Amino acid sequence: MPQLLASLVLGALLPLAFAPFEHWWLAPLLIAVHLPLWRSAPPRTAFWRGFAFGGGAFLTGTYWLYHSVVVIGQVPIALAMLLVLGMVAIMAVYFGLNCWLLRRWLATSPAILLPLLPFLWVWTEWLRGWVLSGFPWLTLGSALPETPLSGWLPLGGVYLGSFVLVAAAVALYGLILPGRVRQVAVATLAVLAAASAGLYDRQWTVETDETLSVRIGQLGQDQRLKWRQEEFQATLQWYARFVDESEPVDLLLMPEVAIPALAQNVRAYLAQLGQVAATRQQTVVLGILNQPENQEPANAMLALAGGQQQWYEKRHLVPFGEFFPVPGFIRDWMRLRGLPYANIRAGDAAPSPIRVGDQLAAASICYEDAYAAEQRVFFPDASFIINISNDAWFGDTIAPHQHLQIARARSLESQRWQARSTNTGISALIDSRGAVRAQAPAFEPATLQGTLTMRAGHTPFTRVGNLPLLVISLLVLVGTAIAQQRRQTGLTSAK
């Protein structure tokens, strides 16, 4: 029991490695401290200690889910607790699996376990980001923008960043072990430090001579007011003034579902914004719902320029937020209880970039930007990134800061500048190194203006994605498992 409690506490400290705290060095340190609690334990015990570590991390790191579900979603508290704790438990299973698989199948010897942990961590973290639509929050590599290890992200993405952090954790633990293990640990840390220094200033893409001026509008509207009919006209007027009164810029950017309506119901209003944009030779980009005839609505990004419309529709939807994978009888119960139950339609899996003047933008809506591999479809054609979001669902919690850090990781992986507009914050301009160049104050109406520098070319990550790291990790794990099995068979035969 003391070891289980210690695992829970260590995991609960892990979110301090992420925004808004950004003590990234805590991630390898906490993993290193947790290692002796399960390294020599029986497989079942190792699982529960890993589960406790993961449970602690997601209890403190995603407590804001309760705010989204109860305060904003108005879900009954008992049901909300079930949903939130269920999500935490599911995420904790992945951490438990790391420990169980290593102790049960891959490394019956504790000495073999240590070098295998980074390879297995990558796989379980990747699976956590994709199985059942995935939840890639608290991916370790997302904590690396503006750190000495930031150069690993354009090379291999956030999962390579996670690999490096876990490898550092194993090496830190190895420093307290005797003999050859300690020597290998010192060498590992030296190699990681040297490689990190070499990658830190590595420019895989090239800066062009072109720039793009952008102005971001943030209404700062409480999510509980957003869809009220009495607020609708005031919302339309605020964004109309934002477009009419803005200084001449190339791009005027508004948040996710800035206009809380179906595009088909506000055609005249959109035509008015488009006319202003055409007259000034600007592009206006905003979030709105799009529902063509005989289809379900889509959470969409609309670009207005030169009298034309461009659409990008959100591809990666939020389970139980934008679609409800439940049987019909549960949907009927949700309707009777007054709970949301309608589905949003997913967009095209291979979308085109958004054109802004002579430039092309990689587009993402809300937490789509947490799925790095899905953004690769836009590169190398896209010279910058647009993200629109609505973090009002999270309230004044750590979630908007975490989400901004995730967006910064996308800029770093692709080495592209980014314009990010959210309803209540954190709206920001992010450079190609993942650094925030400017941001608007949260929870209040605000505008933010600046200039983005265009870039061209591929980074290794945008070219090949996660595949090389996943394949290498799988080969190492499978090869070790086969060798272990043969070794055990040989020992049994010898007896």
- The yes-or-no verdict on residue 341 having pLDDT over 50 is no
The conformation of residue 440, written as its DSSP 8-state character, comes to P
Rounded to the nearest 10°, the torsion over CA 364, 299, 302, 351 is 50
CA–CA distance, 52 with 11 (Å, rounded to integer): 7
For 217, residues 6+ apart whose C-beta sits below 8 A from its C-beta are 238, 239, 242, 252, 253, 254, 255, 258, 421, 447
CA atoms within 13 Å, Cβ hemisphere of 314: 31
338 & 364 share domain:
yes
* Count of the separate structural domains present in the chain: 2
- Omega of the bond leading into 90 within 30 degrees of 0 (cis): no
Residues 57 and 173 grouped into a single domain:
yes
Nearest to 247 by CA among 213, 273, 196: 213
* Token pair 């007054």 in the structure block, residue: 338
**Pair 294, 167 in one domain:** no
* pLDDT higher at 263 or 83: 263
Q: Are residues 195 and 277 in the same domain?
A: no
pLDDT digits (tens, 9 = 90+) for 325-338: 555 555 555 444 44
Helix 110-128 vs helix 77-101: angle between axes, to the nearest 10 degrees? Answer: 140
Is position 207 annotated as part of the catalytic site? no
**Is the pLDDT score of 30 beyond 90?**
yes
In whole angstroms, give the CA distance from residue 267 to residue 343: 23
Q: 57 and 90, same structural domain?
A: yes
Q: 102-154 pLDDT, tens per residue?
A: 988 776 566 678 899 999 999 999 999 988 778 999 999 999 999 999 999 99
Question: What is the spatial distance between Cα 57 and Cα 158, in angstroms, rounded to a whole number?
Answer: 18
Q: Are 216 and 449 in contact (CB under 8 A)?
A: yes
Token code pair at residue 179: 């003999």
Q: What pLDDT is recorded for position 324? A: 56
Q: Given 125, 313, 314, 413, which residue is catalytic? A: 314
- Distance (Å, rounded) from C-alpha 118 to C-alpha 159? 10
Give residue-wise pLDDT tens across range 419-475: 999 999 899 999 999 999 999 999 999 999 999 999 999 999 999 999 999 999 999
**415 and 469 share one domain:** no
Angle (CA) 442 389 139, round 5°: 95
Do 218 and 188 share a domain, yes or no?
no
pLDDT digits (tens, 9 = 90+) for 155-209: 999 999 999 999 999 999 999 998 888 999 999 999 999 999 999 999 999 999 9
Can you list the alpha helix ranges (DSSP code H) found in 14-139? Answer: 26-38, 43-61, 64-66, 77-101, 110-128
Q: Are residues 36 and 54 in the same domain?
A: yes
What per-residue confidence (pLDDT) applies to 339?
Answer: 44
Amino acid at 104: R
Q: What is the CATH number of the domain that holds 321?
A: 3.60.110.10
Mean pLDDT is lowest, of 207-211, 389-393, 394-398, 490-494, for 490-494
DSSP state letter for 70: I
495 part of the active site: no
How large is the average pLDDT for residues 275-287?
A: 95
Higher pLDDT, 40 or 462: 462
CB half-sphere exposure, 248, CA atoms < 13 A: 4
| 140 and 285 together in one domain | no
The pTM of this model reads 0.93
pLDDT at res. 119: 97
Mean pLDDT of the chain: 91
Strand 384-389 and strand 418-422: the pairing is: parallel
pLDDT band at 70, cuts 50/70/90?
A: confident
> Are 137 and 255 in the same domain?
no
Residues 291 and 417 grouped into a single domain: yes
Which listed residue (99, 125, 226, 256) is catalytic?
A: 256
CA pair distance 182, 48, nearest whole angstrom:
28
Question: In the numeric block, which tokens belong to residue 127?
Answer: 């699976």
**Residue range 287-328, pLDDT digits in tens:** 999 998 888 899 999 999 988 999 999 998 876 566 555 555
The pLDDT of residue 336 is 46
Do residues 63 and 394 make contact, with C-beta atoms less than 8 angstroms apart? no
| Residue 434: both structure tokens together | 């993942």
Rounded CA separation 429/448 (Å): 8
Contact between 342 and 318 (Cβ < 8 Å): no
22: left (phi over 0), alpha (psi -120 to 50) or beta: left
CA 395 to chain centre: 18
Query: Same domain for 306 and 245?
Result: yes
Q: Write down the pLDDT at residue 335.
A: 46
Domain range for 90: 2-202+465-494
Kindly report which listed range (156-160, 277-281, 360-364, 454-458) carries the lowest average pLDDT score.
277-281
Tell me what the mean pLDDT of segment 250-261 comes to.
96
Cα Dmax for the chain: 87
